[in-house]
Structure 1
């Protein structure tokens, strides 16, 4: 009767493996050994997943959506093995994994304003995605403003060059209509064109 109860409570594949055993004790020991082996495999797999969870970091070029997909996939795998990661732990990991240079100010604000232990993962994602969109808008506007600035600088330089060349014969290095220096009292002299240096 004990062997009959054991055979009805285990999968068919396992029944075929232990069906040749002649006592209920031997059947039980065989089932126990296989279960312990499966349990060790499960524990090893869980350790691997948790190590992967701890190492996960968001790249500078990665979007919030892409990183959330990675994080969600890693956190859902332990659930299939009977281990559930608390939502507050996922939220803390998410905020900790963000690039500090880009998100440090927002993360600091969220940690001060919200209770991270009770805030849902979806709420944090929504806030981060809204912030990401604002950053994209500013980055799209920055090249336009930079081009305007470069255009204004080039216009200013070209005008300065015209002024300098236009006034050269009066403000140059002192050679021109009035000899060698400024205000030295030299009389008006004719100048030799061959001695003029062209700077343009």
Structure 2
């Protein structure tokens, strides 16, 4: 029986180190271990082929087993320490985590449901919501999957409260949402939100608030500020317009209620010049 020469592994440098297998990272760990052992020429000892020469496998087995044991956490190491070959160690670990792919798929399904239900609260800041999205992306990465920027941007734009709707409409109209980076979309929304906050702080109370008064509130406000003058103005406006007016309003001439100034008894006793002046005032008010 001819001996197949061993091309590497035992006499050279050991395979490069990989993160320890802790139970939650089996999928990524197994990929790295397989690549490192194959690069070092030791993978044949783990997965034995039918045409492989037994002496060669025996020569590769010890370094391969040592490498696998060195890549395990202490609790897992004690469970497979009794295995005598690298193939047995690998088979034991695979049997332990044989459902890793199915468990991973189930966890991804649960995570996708949580991602779909994720919404930004009305009082929540954009930074806080972005942090929640980042944590969700990290959970995806831990399960060997990724959340693309397009999915994150879409979720961000669909989840913001109504006060940011104008910014969302502008982004969707003038930007390519499919290729936009998540940080870019977040920065645009934060700039718009900051502008809204500055505007709200600058508005306060005053002239802008007065524009919200109803007509009845405005007249009541003017009467409180002007007192009897407001009633006199109503009397003059009633006289000019020709409508009946308010019979309970105060006469501008004598100060008594119940009649207009033009009907005031004292006005009839006034000189002709004063009556002419009243007519001129009424005509001027009609022009205004």
Residue 172 (str. 1) matches residue 257 (str. 2) = yes
Looking at structure 1, the residues matched to 209 and 102 of structure 2 have their Cα atoms a distance apart, in angstroms, of 65
Looking at structure 2, the residues matched to 120 and 25 of structure 1 have their Cα atoms a distance apart, in angstroms, of 45
Question: 1 or 2, which has the higher helix percentage?
Answer: 1
Match of residue 134 from structure 1: 195
Larger Rg: 2
SS of the aligned residue for 2:122 comes to coil
SS of the aligned residue for 2:177 comes to coil
Write out per-residue CA displacement over residues 13-66 of structure 1, whole angstroms, 9 at most, x where no aligned residue: 434213335677654442221122444443333333322221111111222122
User: Which of 138, 141, 147 is equivalent to 1:76?
Assistant: 138
SS of the aligned residue for 1:8 comes to helix
Residue 96 (str. 1) matches residue 179 (str. 2) = no
Write out per-residue CA displacement over residues 132-171 of structure 1, whole angstroms, 9 at most, x where no aligned residue: 0111122223332368629994651214542339926756
Match of residue 143 from structure 1: 204
Looking at structure 1, the residues matched to 198 and 73 of structure 2 have their Cα atoms a distance apart, in angstroms, of 60
Match of residue 98 from structure 2: 36
Q: Cα RMSD (Å) of the superposition?
A: 3.4
**Greater displacement, 104-113 / 43-52:** 43-52
Looking at structure 2, the residues matched to 126 and 72 of structure 1 have their Cα atoms a distance apart, in angstroms, of 15
Number of equivalent positions: 175
Looking at structure 1, the residues matched to 167 and 208 of structure 2 have their Cα atoms a distance apart, in angstroms, of 29
Looking at structure 2, the residues matched to 72 and 28 of structure 1 have their Cα atoms a distance apart, in angstroms, of 34
Partners of 2:250 and 2:258 within 8 A in 1: no
Partners of 2:119 and 2:160 within 8 A in 1: yes
SS of the aligned residue for 1:135 comes to helix
Q: CA deviation at 1:80?
A: 2.6
Looking at structure 2, the residues matched to 50 and 146 of structure 1 have their Cα atoms a distance apart, in angstroms, of 50
TM-score where L is the length of structure 1: 0.69
Match of residue 8 from structure 1: 67
SS of the aligned residue for 1:70 comes to helix
Could you say if the C-alpha distance between residues 78 and 172 of structure 1 is closer, same or farther in structure 2, counting changes exceeding 3 Å?
Answer: same
Looking at structure 2, the residues matched to 63 and 12 of structure 1 have their Cα atoms a distance apart, in angstroms, of 40
Structure 2: give runs of 5+ residues left out of the alignment: 1-57, 233-248, 265-288
